[in-house]
Amino acid sequence: MEKASVDESAELPLRERKKRATRQRISDLATQLFVERGFDHVTVAEIARAADVSAMTVFNYFPRKEDLVLDRIPETVEMFTAAVRRRGPGETPLASLRRLALELLDQRHPLSGVDDDFPAFWQVVIDSSALRARAREGVEGVEHALADALRETAEFRDPHLVAALIVAAYRSVYVTSARRLLAGERADDVAGDHAARLGAAFNALERAVSPALGG
């Protein structure tokens, strides 16, 4: 699912901008069809026809059908690892990741999990065992990539454990807000609690990581 946030594509070459636009159009049309009919009842051929491209073109952008829905996995990996690798002077990895999480919330970015448009998307995932499995796989991929980035900092004796704790904490906050939105609450009513729980989660992470797992 694509959803516009801050547009960082303006500086990209024209060819790359066109490729991104095509990828987003395919994803948007696929998500619309999945919301209307369910993931398991829509074929890639139907999506290709709706987007006026070939099925091969769809697979060139999305190697697996599940990736048409969970197309933010690579972006999640990039954002989390970049927060660690490009953090400011004197900024700890946890402080940088905390800042990223709050920025995503402020933007109502899909990775924040807080927006009134998201429940329909989540219902598609909930209703499909294939999508749920791919989501779990994606979370594991984020965890492994984050562990690699944390290892590079040489600040943690066990970067894999630290990465697992970070991902679990973020996922817990995300899922709690998602459940409230699925139950009918509005994003504006959830956002404040979401921010507070992010703060509490990162406070707990800092207490847990510093004495036991630091370098």
Distance from chain centroid for Cα 157? 27
Are the beta carbons of 187 and 108 closer than 8 angstroms?
Answer: yes
What pLDDT sits at residue 100?
A: 97
CA dist 72 and 69 (Å) reads: 8
pTM: 0.86
Q: What is the pLDDT of residue 184?
A: 95
Residue 2 has a pLDDT of 42
pLDDT of amino acid 1: 47
Q: What integer pLDDT is reported at residue 146 of this predicted model?
A: 98
User: Is the backbone of residue 85 left (phi > 0), alpha (psi -120 to 50) or beta?
Assistant: alpha
Q: What Cα–Cα distance (Å) separates residue 12 from each residue in 9, 21, 30?
A: 5, 12, 25
pLDDT recorded at residue 212: 55
| pLDDT tens track, the chain, 215 positions | 444 344 455 567 888 888 889 998 999 999 999 999 999 999 999 999 999 999 999 999 999 999 999 988 999 999 999 999 999 999 999 999 999 999 999 999 989 989 998 899 999 999 999 999 999 999 999 999 999 999 999 989 999 999 999 999 999 999 999 999 999 999 999 999 999 999 999 999 999 887 556 65
pLDDT of residue 20: 86
Tracing tokens 């990828």 back to the chain, one arrives at 23
Give the model's pLDDT for residue 10.
56
Contact between residue 68 and residue 2 where contact means Cβ atoms under 8 Å apart: no
